[in-house]
Amino acid sequence: EVQLVESGGGLVQPGGSLRLSCAASGFTFSDHYMDWVRQAPGKGLEWVGRSRNKVHSHTTEYAASVKGRFTISRDDSKNLVDLQMNSLKTEDTAVYYCARGYCSSTSCPDFYGMDVWGQGTTVTVSS
């Protein structure tokens, strides 16, 4: 079964750090882009960032709101993708989802969207 399971959420004070993990199973992890998307309470979806696949040397992209504070890393040998969050702000409070990127091929000339999602993990930034 294709599955993504996030972990690592919790309560953290403003200025603090937290590391989220996403464990993948049921597919060839190294072939896929992996994205993080968040949703603040009662709000819409916000794309956070991306780790490209092995073909694209695991390069990353970030939303402006998190660039310089958040870092995405992955370990293809363990089928894990992490989101390291530093200098957290109250506005980072959200449910964080990891999602699998769906491309036309491993070189990803065409990105088709995020076709598998985890259940989400909740991050609360509050004093």
Partner 1 sequence: AIQMTQSPSSLSASVGDRVTITCRASQGIRNDLGWYQQKPGKAPKLLIYAVSSLQNGVPSRFSGSGSGTDFTLTISSLQPEDFATYYCLQDYNYPQTFGQGTKVEIK
Q: Which residues bind partner 1 (CB under 8 A)?
A: 35, 37, 44-47, 50, 61-64, 97, 99, 102, 110-115, 117-120
CB of 51 to partner 1, least distance (A): 13
Cβ contact 6:22 at 8 Å:
yes
CB of 112 to partner 1, least distance (A): 4
Angle at 105 between CA 47 and CA 54, to 5 degrees: 70
CB of 42 to partner 1, least distance (A): 11
State which residue, 13 or 25, has the beta carbon closest to partner 1.
Answer: 25
